[in-house]
Chain A
Amino acid sequence: NAGVTQTPKFQVLKTGQSMTLQCAQDMNHEYMSWYRQDPGMGLRLIHYSVGAGITDQGEVPNGYNVSRSTTEDFPLRLLSAAPSQTSVYFCASSYRGPVFGNTIYFGEGSWLTVV
C-alpha cells in the first residue's frame, strides 16, 4: 500500500518557468488537497477536491492550478514560478463523507526552490 505519493521530491525552478507537482493515492479516496508549508506559517491550503471533476480554492490559490480527472491523481501546476512560491508542498487525501475518524493522509512532501 503506497498511500500518498508525491513527485518530484526536490525541484529547482527559474523564475517564470512552469511545472507540475504530481500526487497520486491508491486508497480510493474521494478527497484530495494541496498544502504549502512555510517557516512560521504552518500549512496553508492551496486547492482541494471533493471528487473527480470537482475542485475548489483554498486559502492561497493564486499562481497555482489543479485538475482532478481521476480519483487517484491530483496534480498541482505552477503556471509561472515566482520566488514567493519557494516552499514545501504537501499533498493529502481522505475518505469521502463527514464520518468521524476520517483520517487525512499526507505525502512526504515536495521541496521546491524558485531562483
Chain B
Amino acid sequence: QQQVKQSPQSLIVQKGGISIINCAYENTAFDYFPWYQQFPGKGPALLIAIRPDVSEKKEGRFTISFNKSAKQFSLHIMDSQPGDSATYFCAASNSNSGYALNFGKGTSLLVTP
C-alpha cells in the first residue's frame, strides 16, 4: 500500500508561474521528507529535503512547506522555467529503517514557454 500519496499526477505551468505539488503520509514515524527530480533516462536526484521540526525550507526557487499536524508537505517551485520540466517525486523515510525511501507516484511537470 502506498505510504505516501502524491498529487497531481501531471501539471502544466506557464514560464514564470508557481508549480505546486502536494504529498500526504500516514506513518508518524517518518522523520525525513525529501523531494527528488528526475529527467527522462536518468536516476532521481535530490532536490530539497526537510525534517518535521521545521515548517518550511527554501533553497533558491524551491520551497518545501511542511504541516506536521495534517501529515502533509508540498513543493513549491517559484518562477518556473522550461528547464524545470521533469518528474518530481516526494518521499518519506524513517531513520530506523536505514533511510529506505517510500516514494509517491510522481508528478510530471511541464513548464511551457
Q: Which residues of A contact B (CB under 8 A)?
A: 4, 30-31, 33, 35, 40-45, 48-50, 56, 58-59, 90, 92, 94, 97-98, 100-109
Q: Complex Cα distance A59/B105, Å? A: 14
For this complex, into which size category does the number of interface residues on chain B fall?
Answer: 20 to 34
Q: Which residues of B contact A (CB under 8 A)?
A: 6, 9, 31-32, 34, 36, 41-46, 49, 51, 89, 95-106
Contact A45 B105 (CB under 8 A): no
Q: Complex Cα distance A108/B89, Å? A: 16
Q: Complex Cα distance A42/B7, Å? A: 12
* Among all A-B residue pairs, the 6 with the closest Cβ atoms: A98-B95, A106-B43, A50-B98, A42-B105, A43-B103, A48-B100
Contact A43 B44 (CB under 8 A): yes
A109 is contacted by which of B6, B42, B45, B105 (Cβ under 8 Å)?
Answer: B42
B103 is contacted by which of A42, A49, A100, A105 (Cβ under 8 Å)?
Answer: A42
> Given the known A-B contacts A33-B100, A43-B103, A45-B102, are A106 and B31 also in contact in the complex, defined by CB atoms under 8 Å?
no
What is the chain B residue whose CB lies nearest that of A109?
B43
Contact A90 B44 (CB under 8 A): yes
Question: 20 A-B contacts, Cβ less than 8 Å apart?
Answer: A30-B98, A31-B98, A33-B101, A35-B101, A42-B104, A43-B103, A45-B100, A45-B102, A49-B98, A50-B98, A59-B102, A94-B99, A98-B96, A102-B32, A104-B99, A106-B36, A106-B44, A108-B42, A109-B41, A109-B42
What is the chain A residue whose CB lies nearest that of B50?
A100
Interface hub of A41, A42, A103 (most chain B Cβ within 10 A): A42
Contact A42 B99 (CB under 8 A): no
Q: Complex Cα distance A106/B38, Å? A: 11
Q: Complex Cα distance A30/B98, Å? A: 9
What is the chain A residue whose CB lies nearest that of B46?
A103
What is the chain B residue whose CB lies nearest that of A93?
B99
> Given the known A-B contacts A102-B32, A104-B34, A106-B45, are A40 and B105 also in contact in the complex, defined by CB atoms under 8 Å?
yes
